Chains A and B, each alone.
Chain A
Amino acid sequence: MQTLREFTRKTKRGNILKIVREHYLRDDIACGSDLCRQCFQNEVYHLDSRHEIQSSLFKFPHYLVLDTNVVLDQIDVLEEDVLRNVVVLTTVLNEVKHKSSSIYKRFNEIVHDRTRNFYVFVNEHHKDTYADREPDETANDRNDRAIRLATKWYDNHLQASQSSKEFERNGRAVTRVVLLTDDAGNRAKAEAEGILVASAADYVKSLDDFPLLLDKLSHKTFENEKKGLPQYPAHLSMKELLEGLRQKKLLQGAFQASRENYLEGSVNVEQFEKGILIQGRESLNRAVDGDLVAVELLPEEEWSAPSEIVLEEKNVYADEVPSEERAEDEKDMLKQVRAAASSAERTPTGRIVGIVRRKWRQYCGILQPSLIEDTNRHIFVPADRKIPRIRIETRQAAKLQNQRIIVTIDTWPRNSRYPHGHFVRSLGPLGDMATENEVILLEHDVPHCKFSDEVLSFLPKMPWTITEEDYAKRVDLRDLYICSVDPPGCTDIDDALHCRELPNGNLEVGVHIADVSHFIRPGNALDKEAGARGTTVYLVGKRIDMVPELLSSNLCSLVGGVERFAFSCVWELDKEANVLDKRFHKSVIKSKRAMTYEEAQVIIDDSTQQNELAKSLRNLNKLAKILKKRRMDSGALVLASPEIRFQVDSETHEPLEVEVKQMRETNSMVEEFMLLANITVAQHIANEFSECAVLRRHPRPPPSNFDPLVKAARYQGFQVDTESGLELAHSLDKCVKADNPYFNTMIRILTTRCMMQAVYFISGSLQKEEFFHYGLAAPIYTHFTSPIRRYSDIMVHRLLAASIGADSTYAQLLERKANEEICHNLNYRHKMAQYAGRASVALNTHLFFRGKEEDEEGYVLFVRKNALQVLIPKYGLEGTLYLKSDKDGKDGVERTKSEIVFTFNEEDYTQRCGNVVFHSFDPVTVRLSLDSTNVQHEKLIFRLVKPYIKGFSVETTTNETDGQAVATPPPSKKTKKDKKKK
């Protein structure tokens, strides 16, 4: 069974160590082919001779062996369901894992897809294919040799099996093994050894049935490329970089491209607070946003200041040589910047000399229309303005016009202005709702593919029934008057409430949460998938579930009139809402009714209703008010953020109407009890599991965060105290203006922006004092009440269940490190889900305003140097109204001629134009319209209507007719707004 051979390995760890490890070589590793007659195949065959692929290069059935470079560079080709019967060597797998973990992950997914017939062959432990490292041989060479050795062995091994007479009688061609490698040296050696070999590009070209696969090939060099002059300075070699970094001659940091100016960016370096400024194409030296780069600091006299110019790259065409004119353009910009840079504003400036690590990913964008008809070469314009344009080759340009596509960068040679990349896939037509949603999900890294069969296999079998055993284990609460209150249209109901009077006059209140952890057992594929997704993501008109729909909308959802499993938290409260007793148990409930907030409100208000349900709702409402008051008194903050709902057309999914979300008493009623449940559970699990409880904290923001708020309030004559949460809450309550009812809300919106992000953490990782939840003023907090849409709640459910003996513990439950990793992922997913939600709202707002112009009332939220930040309460929308300032450097001559000049007063943050003065929180009327000139970046434009400033404001519709003509500013008076539209 086993043979033994030893091998030695030297590794450097400060001093050189000789490490000796055993390495067992085996004779029981199967080749995985159904043709083989020799190997003992205990598993199903992975390589199936029935799948044949037609290649003009190898006109016989064949298996493929991939070299590491093919996997690394051509992962997009591999992900296409074309190549089958591939032998994956562990040598290759290890190299891929070592070089790029993201590609390793993607590759692993392909390997695991059984329909693709990929077989992992453990060549490193096979007695015939193990290659011992020879003296003076580099690791790379050895790996190449190991790959060739394994290929050769496979070929011989298969031929030995196929030479039998029976096989010949069948008349089938002999299956061979082909090595794919992009390393010319390796190819030459393989040929010399008699191995069938091809480069990935040649092989893909030979597949006549799949011509479009060619698009996905990664190109290191473009064919018949004009060997242009190098446009960029050469990068330093890795060795020079490391040496320079070690000697502190170079600085290392992440490169951040500027959104406004494509010739500018900065590198965040530890030693400098603001980051090092990089200006100009040559200094940027092919760095792409996110890359880890090495920077050389320029001498101080060459330092510059960030330009405030918006510079967008003009359209260029694939075959165009960079024109002189544009080079001039760039020089001009640099000159301007240097000249404008007064000595005070100069910041450390540097140039990039090398790339430590590329952070290239897949980019979303559109194809730039090409001038020449039949060309394969195209320019891709990424949606993200920080990313440069990318040259790609595609044969389906006509089809891809007006589609959103995904492209990835392969290389950026010195003599190419733009990086080279290849087409990955198309998302769909531009402007289509489904496509745009897809873009949002991709950009926010939201996992949204369908649940795999493996995941679905762990769902309960339908029809699902509650067994006697289940009843025996759970407390039967089916007779209680339990009801749920949710927003309209909610199908994933995860909480329900009840309240009844006890004989002793006290009240019993129960919060019943869907028992998701009953269905999702720890460690299985379903659990892992839910953990990876972390949260359900809500887009306008679309929900991306964390758990499959069968659970989220059916078995777990506490719908009315149906028996469901719940995890109950039951308190005994007195009339003053003091908690006298609490208990947790799993239960079976039958919700009497699933209500909307509005319905519940109607029942409470309608005093003619005196049934059990109405009574308990009223009791709950009473208690909630007391609880809320108590919470406020202890310093909980009431924050506001503009929230809106879209009425979406059920067929086109286009927004029809926008409304601001209404807050009713019942909203806050449900919220209070959820908070109470969360806090009660948090206390309990933190006591039971002092090392590994999943909790949520909201750190106190640093005092400097509050500066803008304090200032804004001070100009309005209010004092905001930020010393403690309590003082802040009180001073916010006092910020009321009789003439401006929206003022308090705006102040609260500003406060919200000062806050930190609340995060999940594991109790053992922090001190008790740090558990504090600032916003809620609770010493300890967790999430327990929404297990259908948050994974953290599932973890909390499991902990709680284990602590009350309702469920067994399991290994992972108590592992602090593993749980910390999960928390980290959850925090990330939550943040991304939030951003995705906002992006979706923004997208729908844009769609709503398409082809519309509306005058809306709004308020000035901030006054900036050259603009007003305006908030429109009706849409919860915020935007910038640009003003011209009098000291704009560039075309100052023109500007002075115009009488419409805004003066910014830094003292009290006001903008003045003639006798009109803008303060923060002033009401204004603005005209909203959509600017669609840039198809990828539609944006809302705000134009001033009221107060009316001649020559700047747009005319109101009443005196439109000839007023417009008069008011149209002469060319010299172009406002910045007008310029933008060009």
Chain B
Amino acid sequence: MAGNFELLSEQGLRLDGRRPHELRHIKCKLGVFEQPDGSAYMEQGNTKVLAAVYGPHQAKGKKTESNDVIINCQYSQATFSTAERKNRPRGDRKSLEFKMYLQQALSAAIKSELYPRSQIDIYVEVLQADGANYAVALNAATLALIDAGICLNEFIVACTASLSKSNIPLTDISHFEEVSGGPKLTVAALPTAEKIAFLEMSERFHIDHLETVIETAMAGCREIRDILEAAVKEHLVHMGSAADWARVC
């Protein structure tokens, strides 16, 4: 199946009918659980992710020696998340890799100086996987952190981008596009500061196109940031309406 499809038709539409720069449909909700300190649910197309945040709390055991905040992430994918129902053990290589990436990106956003000798636990569960799993997981984690009231420098959001054969960059890659060939570039960024916290690429493409593809991913990040921001505001209005906060916003 791989490589047989042209990612972008001559009419300028992608395999699922989007135009090159369009994101998938995004839905998100904060505070979906009561138990954790913060939680969020995020849907980006058919990729659906749940995130929960505990903390900040006192770091356990040996970890207390360090003065910094300890960010502990866990990434897992549900057995039923893909078409093939594979049993995915929690500690598999892929999950561990994503866990590291999450920690790397999030530590760039969390104001760590405010939480010395403390620990923040972030749990991410992918319920349905349809491409750009890491990016959606990170976006959900950001929302959950906000819900938990943890201070961030700014929104940290991730977005993927690819390159069609006619060298037109594509935003937000679906699973179908991932397996149809073409490179996949994941960028996690602080959009306002225009800083890139994390960058990963799955396949080689020519360096001439790197800049435009990164810029496409960044544009996607900015767009997602706006959506997340709106969701946060709405959540606050909803929460605060009881306390008459609605006027403040």
Contacts and interface: CB of A to CB of B under 8 A. Distances in A.
B208 A19 contact: no
A943 B206 CA distance: 65
B130 A22 contact: yes
A23 B208 contact: no
A18 B84 CA distance: 9
Given A122-B11, A125-B13, A811-B206, A22 B83 contact: no
B167 A811 contact: yes
A6 B46 contact: yes
Contacts of B22: 1-2
Contacts of B233: none
A23 B17 contact: yes
A124 B13 CA distance: 11
B16 A19 contact: no
Contacts of B208: 808, 810-811
A24 B83 CA distance: 20
A825 B76 CA distance: 46
Contacts, number: 55
A530 interface: no
Contacts of A26: 13, 17
Interface string A438-476: 000000000000000000000000000000000000000
A20 B176 CA distance: 10
B45 interface: yes
A22 B206 contact: no
A83 interface: no
Contact of B83 (A17, A125, A808, A809): A17
A124 B244 CA distance: 48
A810 B208 CA distance: 7
Contacts of B235: none
A542 B51 CA distance: 72
Contacts of A812: 206
A809 B11 CA distance: 29
A550 interface: no
Contacts of B24: 22
Interface size class of B (residues with CB under 8 A): 20 to 34
Contacts of B206: 809-812, 814
A112 to B, nearest CB: 8
A19 B209 CA distance: 32
Given A2-B22, A122-B11, A810-B208, A24 B16 contact: yes
Contact of A22 (B13, B174, B209): B174
A811 B205 CA distance: 6
A124 B205 contact: no
Contacts of A23: 16-17
Contacts of B83: 17-20
Interface string B5-35: 0000111010011100010110000000000
Contacts of A808: 208
Contacts of A738: none
Interface residues of A, number: 25
A24 B46 contact: no
Contacts of B84: 17
A676 interface: no
Interface in B200-226: 205-206, 208-209
Contact of A122 (B13, B25, B45, B174): B13
Nearest to A809: B206
A25 interface: yes
Interface in B81-102: 83-84
A982 interface: no
Interface string B66-86: 000000000000000001100
B65 to A, nearest CB: 48
A26 B208 CA distance: 32
Contacts of B167: 811
B82 to A, nearest CB: 10
Contact of B45 (A22, A25, A814): A22
Interface in A786-838: 808-812, 814
Nearest to A112: B10
Nearest to B175: A21
B3 to A, nearest CB: 8
Contact of B16 (A21, A90, A122, A811): A21
Given A18-B83, A19-B83, A124 B209 contact: no
Contacts of B10: 120
Nearest to B163: A811
Nearest to B24: A22
Interface in B102-141: 130
A661 to B, nearest CB: 45
B209 A811 contact: yes
Contacts of A24: 16-18
Interface in A2-23: 2, 4, 6, 17-23
A22 B15 CA distance: 9
A23 B174 CA distance: 11
A25 B46 contact: no
Interface string B180-215: 000000000000000000000000011011000000
Contact of A4 (B25, B174, B176): B25
Given A124-B17, A811-B205, A814-B206, A21 B25 contact: no
A90 B17 CA distance: 12
A809 B206 CA distance: 8
A299 B84 CA distance: 46
A19 B84 CA distance: 9
B205 A22 contact: no
A945 B174 CA distance: 78
B194 to A, nearest CB: 26
A373 B232 CA distance: 86
A190 B63 CA distance: 74
B130 to A, nearest CB: 7
Interface in B126-176: 130, 167, 174, 176
A963 B8 CA distance: 80
B205 A25 contact: no
A21 B176 contact: yes
A808 B206 CA distance: 11
A493 B130 CA distance: 57
Interface in B33-47: 45-46
Contacts of A4: 25
Interface in A120-141: 120, 122, 124-125
A602 to B, nearest CB: 51
A24 B18 CA distance: 6
A229 B54 CA distance: 83
Chain B CB count within 10 A is highest, among A2, A18, A812, for A2
Contact of B11 (A1, A6, A21, A120): A120
Contacts of A90: 9, 11
A935 B209 CA distance: 59
A122 B174 CA distance: 20
B2 to A, nearest CB: 12
A1 B13 CA distance: 13
A20 B46 contact: yes
A814 B208 CA distance: 13
Contacts of A124: 17
Contacts of A809: 206
Nearest to B174: A22
Interface in A71-122: 90, 120, 122
A18 B13 CA distance: 24
A22 B13 CA distance: 13
- Nearest first, the 4 A-B pairs at minimum CB distance are A811-B206, A24-B17, A125-B17, A17-B83
28 contacts: A1-B22, A17-B83, A19-B83, A20-B46, A20-B130, A21-B46, A21-B130, A21-B174, A21-B176, A22-B24, A22-B25, A22-B46, A22-B130, A23-B16, A25-B17, A26-B17, A120-B11, A122-B9, A122-B11, A122-B17, A124-B17, A810-B206, A810-B208, A811-B167, A811-B205, A811-B206, A811-B209, A814-B206
Given A2-B22, A19-B83, A25-B17, 16 more contacts: A6-B46, A18-B83, A20-B83, A21-B16, A21-B174, A22-B24, A24-B17, A26-B17, A122-B9, A122-B13, A808-B208, A811-B167, A811-B205, A811-B206, A811-B208, A812-B206
